[in-house]
Amino acid sequence: MNRTGMLCSLLVAATAAHADAVLEYAGGSEACHGEFTRVAVQGLSMRIDGAPPGQDYSFVFDAAEKTGVTLDHRRKQFFEMELDDDAIEFTGDVMKSTSNMVDRKTEKMQADLAQACAQSGSRMNCAAVDAMRSGGANGKAGIPQIDPKLMEQMMQQNMQHMTKEQRAQTEEAMKNMRASGYFGPQSEPVIEATGEKREVGGLSCTVERVTQDGQLLREDCRTTLDALGLDPADVKRMLRVIVRMQKYSSAVTSNLRLIKNVSSVRRDNVDPQHPLVERRCFDQGKPSGEVTLRVRNESVPADWFVTPADYSRMDMGMRGH
């Protein structure tokens, strides 16, 4: 066998010996789920399938090109983005420019309404000015607001005169409003290491209790990336993707003030260095669901990492599409 033939044989053997890596959660639901539905690594490509409420989306990263593609499966659309340092810096500049533009338009609208109020004395114009000045108590500047805490108290009082079915519906509505941040900022979840060890699907993990306002939300059992038994090269690729996405996210959130003001951003205690092996969820102190991580080292379809032919391009007006 000549040198070229030997080299080809070695490459084929190496490819066959290196299986793809798949991490996925079993048993998830809208109320109780992992930090993703599935992650798959094949060569220099990595795919992340979102967890609720983003279960209709997938993200495919190409480490060689430092590009990412977001797939919207419900609309059958895709959005491409560049994730090299220059592109991330450009994205941050665009977000900052957008925030400045919104601020200028809001200030102009306030000035115009104030002038109209002074000239005409119109109750409508003057009320609009007051609303825009006092609005934003819960992150919605420019919109007249009812005191959220007062509304919560009124709803609780009204529940005393409701039927069992009506109370259940109102409790569910209030729960959703609290989660959305409507009643004001929620206290931060408290994460407490318990020291308890568990064995889940052959993986050893350590339990954390997550509580909020003294109420148990979930028990998370975490391990280390190395303990998953993945190929070291796959672990490095996963970490590179995480770093790229964290840089991109920081460029957006640190420059787009509209996002900073949203109090309903969900905190799921994502820790890339310590993946979630098992999550037990609780509602009103009672178990409400459970998810467990499954790790597989096997070949996966190559089309997982390719944009489907029937998906159309999503125009976001941003660089990288």
Contact call for residues 253 and 130 (beta carbons, < 8 A): no
Q: Which of 18-22, 92-96, 300-304 has the lowest mean pLDDT?
A: 92-96
Is the pLDDT higher at 248 or at 16? Answer: 248
Predicted confidence at residue 150, as pLDDT, reads 66
Rounded CA separation 63/95 (Å)? 25
Q: Which of 58-67, 184-193, 239-248, 254-263 has the lowest mean pLDDT?
A: 254-263
C-alpha torsion 160→165→167→168, nearest 10 = 160
Closest CA to 31 of 53, 50, 56, 49: 53
Give me the DSSP letters along 248-281.
HHHHHHTT-HHHHT-TT-------TTS-EEEEEE
Query: Is the pLDDT confidence value at 184 over 90?
Result: no
Rounded CA separation 266/183 (Å)? 15
Rounded CA separation 186/154 (Å)? 19
- Kindly state the tokens that stand for 17: 């010996």
Average pLDDT over the chain, rounded to whole? 77
Predicted confidence at residue 22, as pLDDT, reads 93
Query: Is the pLDDT confidence value at 143 over 80?
Result: no
Q: What is the mean pLDDT of residues 103-107?
A: 74
Contact call for residues 207 and 219 (beta carbons, < 8 A): yes
What residues contact 189, with CB distance under 8 A and at least 6 apart?
A: 210, 211, 212, 217, 267, 269
What residues contact 308, with CB distance under 8 A and at least 6 apart?
A: 71, 76
Query: Is the pLDDT confidence value at 243 over 70?
Result: yes
Q: At 192, is the pLDDT very low, low, confident or very high (cuts 50, 70, 90)?
A: very high
Closest CA to 48 of 35, 38, 33: 38
Rounded CA separation 147/61 (Å)? 44
Query: Is the pLDDT confidence value at 64 over 80?
Result: yes
Rounded CA separation 100/265 (Å)? 22
